[in-house]
Amino acid sequence: MDMHFLLPTISTSFIVISAVLVGVGWVLIVRGKKEAHQSMMVAGAVAALLFFIIYMSRTIFVGNTAWGGDPEMEIFYRIFLIFHIILATAAAVFGISTLVLGFKKKFATHRRWGRFTSMIWFSSALTGVIVYVLLYLLYPGGHTRPVWEAILGV
C-alpha cells in the first residue's frame, strides 16, 4: 500500500482508539472504578502520543497532503482544518493538565477539567476523522507538500 495513504490511515486509527479509550475511561469513573479509569486514561494519552509521533514523522519526512477536491471548496476545507488543529492543540494542553491534576490527586478540579477535556478530545477526534475522510476517501489525489503549504496554501 502507498505510504501516503498508509501513514495517515494508521495515525487516524490511533486518534479513534484514543477517543474510544477516553470514552471508556469516563464510563469507568462514573461507575466508581478509579484504578481502571486511571489506566484507561493513560492508555488514551499513549494512543494520542503515538498519533502525534506518526503525524510529526510524516510531516517532517514525507510532507502533508493538500486539498485534492474542487478548488472552490478549498477555502472551506482550510477553515475546517485550522479549526481541527486548534481543537487538537487544546486537547493536548488540557489532556496533559488533566493527567497532572489526576496524579496530584486534585480530584475536584480534575473532575471539572476532565469533563471539558474529554469533550474537546472527542471533538478533536471527530474533526480529525472528517479531515481524513475528505483528504483520502472523498477527494483523494491531493499532492503531498511541505506542511505550511498544505495548511495555508502559501
Residues at the site binding ligand HEM, with contacts judged by CB under 6 A: 22, 26, 29-30, 34, 37-38, 41-42, 45, 95, 98-99, 102-103, 107-108, 110-111, 114-115, 117-118
Judged by CB, which is closer to ligand HEM: 105, or 154?
Answer: 105
Judged by CB, which is closer to ligand HEM: 1, or 108?
Answer: 108
**CA–CA dist 12, 129 (Å, integer):** 7
Judged by CB, which is closer to ligand HEM: 29, or 88?
Answer: 29
Judged by CB, which is closer to ligand HEM: 65, or 118?
Answer: 118
CB of 25 to ligand HEM, least distance (A): 6
- The 3 state secondary structure assigned to the chain is CCHHHHHHHHHHHHHHHHHHHHHHHHHHHHCCCHHHHHHHHHHHHHHHHHHHHHHHHHHHHCCEECCCCCHHHHHHHHHHHHHHHHHHHHHHHHHHHHHHHHHCCCHHHHHHHHHHHHHHHHHHHHHHHHHHHHHHHHCCCCCEECHHHHHHCC
CB of 89 to ligand HEM, least distance (A): 15
CB of 31 to ligand HEM, least distance (A): 10
- And the C-alpha cell for 58? 510524516
- Characterise 26 by phi-psi region: left (phi > 0), alpha (psi -120 to 50), beta (else): alpha
Judged by CB, which is closer to ligand HEM: 121, or 136?
Answer: 121
CB of 116 to ligand HEM, least distance (A): 8
CB of 93 to ligand HEM, least distance (A): 11
